[in-house]
């Protein structure tokens, strides 16, 4: 009976947190804006890591090249950030994650990969992150988080910045390109010039 009560309590707790958002890619918590504008921290949940092939597919779809500055929002263990500089030649890459354990893990992975001088991991709320110098942004979040991020991406990123999302789109902002990579859907958007009407707000 005690075991059944524990299982039920855990299940009920998970159900009550259904509005909380977590990434599927990383073992990471994120913060989303509540109705009053306050930050709400979601609980950490188990994750299924993005296969390296899909990571490479995201960076290839973005056309990452020397000179690019790549931001991964919800960076988890840092694999996208590390791959951006190690395999795709990005000048600099930044990961943003709310979880200090993931930040520590990502820094360790970057050191082991020999790219610590070209990457940076920042602990914080991705909605508050300064992303203005990004030329590429990668996401593996959820549709509701993508929707919340859309206005930030459009208002802060320079025209021409490429955005790639793994598995989830951005609602009424139609992607520039959609591809399949190892059975996973990847979406690409390019930030339009201001005032051209290229994307909904």
Interval 179-183 mean pLDDT: 91
The Cα 107–Cα 120 span in angstroms is 8
Q: Are 105 and 132 in contact (CB under 8 A)?
A: no
pTM here is: 0.77
How many domains is the chain partitioned into structurally?
1
- Domain of 64 in residue numbering reads as 1-201
Interval 102-123 mean pLDDT: 97
pLDDT, residue 31, reads 45
Map residue 121 onto helix, strand or coil.
strand
Instruction: Please give the distance of CA 147 from its chain centroid, rounded to a whole number.
Output: 13
Interval 12-29 mean pLDDT: 39
Q: Both ends of the chain: CA-CA distance in Å?
A: 52
Instruction: Please give the distance of CA 66 from its chain centroid, rounded to a whole number.
Output: 21
Dihedral sign, Cα of residue 131, residue 129, residue 36, residue 148:
positive
Show the tokens assigned to 184.
């996973």
Looking at residue 118, the DSSP 8-state letter turns out to be G
CATH code of residue 140:
3.40.50.150
Give the pLDDT band (50/70/90) at residue 115.
Answer: very high
Angle at alpha carbon of residue 22, lines to 18 and 23, rounded to 5°: 140
Give the pLDDT band (50/70/90) at residue 175.
Answer: very high
């Amino acid at each position: 009976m005690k075991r059944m009560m524990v299982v039920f309590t855990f299940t009920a707790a998970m159900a009550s947190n259904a509005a909380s958002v977590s990434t599927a890619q990383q073992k990471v918590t994120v913060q989303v804006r509540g109705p009053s504008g306050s930050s709400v921290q979601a609980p950490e949940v188990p994750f299924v890591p993005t296969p390296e092939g899909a990571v490479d597919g995201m960076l290839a779809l973005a056309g990452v090249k020397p000179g690019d500055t790549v931001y991964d929002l919800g960076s988890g263990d840092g694999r996208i950030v590390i791959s951006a500089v190690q395999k795709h030649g990005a000048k600099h890459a930044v990961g943003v994650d709310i979880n200090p354990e993931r930040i520590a893990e990502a820094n360790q992975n970057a050191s082991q990969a020999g790219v610590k001088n070209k990457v940076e991991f920042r602990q914080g709320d991705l909605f508050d992150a300064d992303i203005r110098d990004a030329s590429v942004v990668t996401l593996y979040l959820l549709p509701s988080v993508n929707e919340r991020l859309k206005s930030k991406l459009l208002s802060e990123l320079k025209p021409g910045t490429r955005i790639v999302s793994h598995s989830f789109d951005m609602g009424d902002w139609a992607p520039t390109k959609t591809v399949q990579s190892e059975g996973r859907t990847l979406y690409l958007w390019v930030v339009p010039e201001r005032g051209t009407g290229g994307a909904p707000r």
